[in-house]
Each structure stands twice: as structure tokens, then as C-alpha cells.
């Protein structure tokens, strides 16, 4: 299932196709959205924001399209006038003179004004996004130590979008390995050094995954490519200590860890 880095890269592709271009054709599948079709023709998408798995398309007239992919939603970029060969159900088509972006299968789609955006229940509930480059490790540390989160075991906390949006299972696994701690710990049980290391890893690893995963940098060799250290590597040797990586289930998700160097 895609996590924050994959969602942000999908948003980047949408921005590259249609950002700041006048919309020439709008189509919504849901009746409640039909009145906005003509309202948005001639407007442009000025920015696409990610909040976990939610995308916010900010239009030049002040309206915002909120969509949440849930389990099956997916965006596609095509040339203007084209569609894709898929069995998925088209929900949204936003077209410019040369490109169109299509949203398939999602059911949670709304058009919001500024006041509605501020009061949206999902956006009020979700935490800051790990790929928001204004978010700092010090702010993350403050969230870890807050009364709301400091007693929560990392096994569940690092999957809770109310803590930090954009984290998911592979990031949970890789972050805890990088810090060298096990998932049953919570923030109040860590040493100051561990807490500082975790606060940085919660941002650094998702951002490194976003910047490098799936790309090859010939000048950096393998060092710049995001690769799993423990995720999906049960039975293999840990590259840090040589112990055998193990697998279990935590919070109903597969969890991988090294018994040799995670404590």
C-alpha cells in the first residue's frame, strides 16, 4: 500500500502535467459535484498538497478539491482527450489544452471553500505531513513527548496518521531499525539520545525515500538509492550486525526487525 513518499511522487506527476494551466474541461461522476464543473472551467490548479493519503488540489478561484484514495483510488496522467485502458471507474477528469489528470475508483471527493477546508474532519484529525519541509525534528520531538502520544507504543503510533501523516508500515519498520529500538517502546521510555535520533529519523527516512526510491544516480552509486534494510528481508542477515532478520505481526501488519541490534 502506498505511503507518504509514493503519494507525494504521484502529486508531483500531477503538478508536472497541469500546474498553472487553464482548465478547459471538467467532469465529475458524483451529482453533488456537477455544479462545480462550469465553475472551475478557466481556472487553474495552483498547488497540490498531500496530507497522508489525501490530496488537496488548490484552484486559482480559492476552491479546493479534497480526495482520499482509500484502498482503491488512483490518479493517472494522459494526453488531452485520451482515457486509460482500465476496469477502474472514472470519478474525476480535469483537462487542460494538452494534458488531463484522471482519478479512478476513489469515493471520498469534495469541493471545499476556505472555511470548509479549515473545518474538514479528516484534515482536523490528521497530523502534520512528514514531507512538509517546514516540519522540523524539534517539532516532531514535541509531538512524541506530548501527553497525547508519549505513552503510545511505536508499533501503533507510527501507523497513526493523527501523529504524523504519511507514515506507514515499511516506514515504521525502517525507522525503528535505523534508531535501533523495538516497537514495544514509547517515547517516555527512550533516552534523550534515542529520542533525538528517532525525531530525526521520522523525517529523514521518509524524505530520503521520496527523493531517491526508484531512481538511479550514476554519481552516487548505490548510496543514494533507498533500499530496505529489514522490510521484507526475514531470514536474511542484518547488514549492521549480521544477525538474522525476523518477522512477526504487529497492529495487524507484518513487522520486521533485527534481534541483534534492536533493543
Render pLDDT for 44-101 as a digit per residue (tens, 0 to 9).
999 999 998 899 999 999 999 999 987 788 999 999 999 888 999 999 999 999 999 9
Q: What pLDDT score does 1 carry?
A: 60
CATH 1.10.8.50 in the chain is located at: 137-257
Q: What pLDDT score does 169 carry?
A: 95
Q: Which residue reads 489525501 in cell numbers? A: 54
Q: What pLDDT score does 222 carry?
A: 41
**Active site includes 2?**
yes
Q: With contact defined as beta carbons under 8 Å apart, do 28 and 110 qualify? A: no
Q: What pLDDT score does 50 carry?
A: 93
Q: Which of 28, 47, 26 is nearest to 38 (CA)?
A: 26
Measured CA to CA in angstroms, residue 79 lies from 67, 76, 89, 104 at distances of: 22, 10, 18, 16
2, 138, 148, 220: the active-site residue: 2
Distance CA 34, CA 15 (A): 23
CATH 3.20.190.10 in the chain is located at: 4-125
Low-confidence ranges of the chain (pLDDT < 70): 1, 214-225
Query: Into which CATH architecture does domain 4-125 fall?
Result: Alpha-Beta Barrel (3.20)
Most distant pair of Cα atoms in the chain: their distance: 62
15, 110, 253, 254: the active-site residue: 253
Q: In what order do the strands lie in the sheet with 108-112?
A: 45-51, 54-59, 64-68, 108-112
Q: With contact defined as beta carbons under 8 Å apart, do 52 and 73 qualify? A: no
Q: With contact defined as beta carbons under 8 Å apart, do 150 and 188 qualify? A: yes
- Is 1.10.600.10 the CATH classification of the domain at 137-257? no
Spatial CB neighbours of 8, under 8 Å, sequence gap ≥ 6: 50, 131, 166, 210
Q: Which residues of 177-196 are buried (b: 16+ CB within 10 A; e: fewer)?
A: bbbebbbebbbeebeeebbe
**Active site includes 53?**
yes
8, 9, 51, 53: the active-site residue: 53
Q: Which of 190, 186, 192, 196 is nearest to 152 (CA)?
A: 186
Amino acid at each position: 500500500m502506498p505511503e507518504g513518499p509514493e503519494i507525494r511522487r504521484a502529486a508531483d506527476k500531477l503538478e508536472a502535467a497541469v500546474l498553472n494551466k487553464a482548465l478547459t474541461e471538467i467532469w465529475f461522476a458524483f451529482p453533488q459535484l456537477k455544479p462545480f464543473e462550469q465553475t472551475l472551467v478557466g481556472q487553474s490548479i495552483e498547488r497540490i498538497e498531500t496530507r497522508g493519503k489525501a490530496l488537496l488540489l488548490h484552484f486559482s478561484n480559492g476552491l479546493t478539491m479534497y480526495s482520499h484514495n482509500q484502498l482503491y483510488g488512483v490518479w493517472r496522467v494522459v494526453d488531452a482527450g485520451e482515457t486509460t485502458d482500465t476496469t477502474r471507474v472514472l470519478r474525476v477528469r480535469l483537462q487542460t489544452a494538452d494534458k488531463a489528470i484522471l482519478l479512478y475508483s476513489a469515493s471520498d471527493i469534495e469541493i471545499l471553500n476556505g472555511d470548509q477546508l479549515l473545518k474538514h474532519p479528516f484534515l482536523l484529525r490528521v497530523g502534520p505531513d512528514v514531507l512538509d519541509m517546514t516540519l522540523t525534528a524539534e517539532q516532531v520531538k514535541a509531538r512524541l513527548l506530548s501527553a497525547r502520544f508519549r505513552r503510545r507504543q511505536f508499533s501503533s503510533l507510527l501507523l497513526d496518521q493523527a501523529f504524523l501523516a504519511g507514515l506507514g508500515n515499511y516506514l515504521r519498520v525502517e525507522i525503528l531499525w535505523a534508531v535501533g529500538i523495538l516497537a514495544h517502546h514509547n517515547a517516555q521510555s527512550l533516552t534523550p539520545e534515542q529520542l533525538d535520533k528517532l525525531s530525526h529519523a521520522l523525517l529523514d527516512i521518509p524524505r530520503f525515500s521520496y527523493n531517491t526510491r526508484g531512481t538511479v544516480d550514476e554519481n552516487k552509486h548505490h548510496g543514494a538509492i533507498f533500499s530496505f534494510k529489514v522490510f521484507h528481508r526475514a531470514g536474511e542477515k542484518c547488514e549492521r550486525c549480521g544477525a538474522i532478520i525476523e518477522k512477526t505481526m504487529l497492529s495487524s501488519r507484518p513487522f520486521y526487525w533485527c534481534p541483534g541490534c534492536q533493543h
